[in-house]
């Protein structure tokens, strides 16, 4: 996709995106079985680990729900240029591990890992492997294992919808896209 629109993503649209990403997995097997669910277990060894919600994603959650803890984010800490703030509060959430996970409510960052959306200089969306610094080892990333095309397609479909929102566009550009 190219260009950016200015639509607001509402709760129903986030729920649609959760549904698109709800039934797909990066591999044909449970990849958590080869790494001990490393991405979900990061909180065991790194109390600072967690997920950043997309702008507006909190609309599908209850801030009082005890399986997630919430911290507000200074946008500059996650890549926004100095003085540039989204009009909505950004949230960093921590879960209590897989035993407590409400899978139907797991955040988008959980659903798309180990992929990441990026916006290229030409304004096009590209879905790539997550190359951010992580506090754990993901065998799919480290072993450069193939990822199911259906999974990549679902992530692309989800972000084609989400990037219609200017705030999400800016978030992806500032937080994920680096120099492209
Ligand atoms: S995505 Fe990577 S770290 Fe997470 S469960 Fe699968 S293989 Fe393990
Ligand atoms: S919310 Fe669920 S899917 Fe996400 S890291 Fe926690 S246990 Fe894993």
Give me 14's structure tokens.
């986030």
pLDDT (0 to 100) of residue 5: 45
Please check the confidence at residue 153 and state whether its pLDDT lies above 90: yes
Nearest one of 161, 39, 8 to 111, comparing CA atoms: 39
How many alpha carbons lie under 13 Å from residue 63 in its C-beta half-sphere?
Answer: 10
Residue 82 lies in a domain: yes
Q: Residue 169 is part of which domain span?
A: 11-176
Residues 6+ apart with CB under 8 A from 151: 24, 25, 26, 115
Q: How far is the CA of 113 from the centre of ligand 1 (A)?
A: 8
* Residue 2: inside a domain: no
With a 6 Å cutoff on the Cβ, whether 95 touches ligand 2 is yes
Q: What would the pLDDT profile of 18-69 be if each residue is shown by its tens digit?
A: 999 999 999 999 999 999 999 999 988 888 999 999 999 999 999 888 999 9
Single out the residue of 34, 25, 180 nearest to residue 110, CA to CA: 25
> 97 CB under 6 A from ligand 2?
yes
Band of residue 8 on the pLDDT scale cut at 50, 70, 90: confident
pTM for this predicted structure: 0.93
* Probe residue for ligand 1, chosen from 34, 38, 131, 143 as the CB with the greatest number of ligand atoms within 8 Å: 38
**Number of domains composing the chain:** 1
Q: What is the pLDDT of residue 166?
A: 93
Task: Please indicate, yes or no, if residue 58 is contained in any of the structural domains.
Answer: yes
What band does 4 get if pLDDT is binned at 50, 70 and 90? very low
**Residue 103 within a domain:** yes
Sorted by sequence, the CB contacts under 8 Å of residue 100 that are 6+ apart come out as 67
Average pLDDT for the chain: 92
Whose CA is closest to atom 4 on ligand 1? 39
């Amino acid at each position: 996709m190219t260009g950016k629109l200015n639509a607001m993503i509402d709760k129903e649209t986030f729920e649609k995106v959760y549904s698109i990403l709800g039934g797909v997995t990066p591999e044909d097997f449970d990849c958590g079985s080869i790494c001990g669910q490393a991405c979900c277990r990061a909180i065991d060894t790194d109390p600072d680990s967690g997920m950043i919600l997309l702008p507006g994603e909190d609309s599908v959650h209850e801030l009082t729900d005890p399986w997630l803890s919430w911290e507000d984010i200074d946008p500059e800490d996650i890549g926004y240029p100095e003085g540039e703030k989204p009009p909505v509060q950004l949230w960093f959430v921590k879960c209590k591990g897989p035993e407590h996970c409400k899978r139907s409510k797991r955040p988008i960052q959980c659903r798309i890992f180990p992929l990441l959306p990026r916006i290229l200089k030409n304004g096009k969306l590209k879905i790539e492997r997550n190359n951010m610094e992580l506090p754990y080892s993901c065998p799919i990333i480290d072993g450069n294992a193939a990822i199911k095309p259906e999974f990549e397609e679902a992530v692309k479909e989800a972000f084609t919808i989400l990037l219609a929102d200017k705030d999400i566009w800016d978030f992806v550009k500032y937080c994920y896209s680096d120099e492209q």
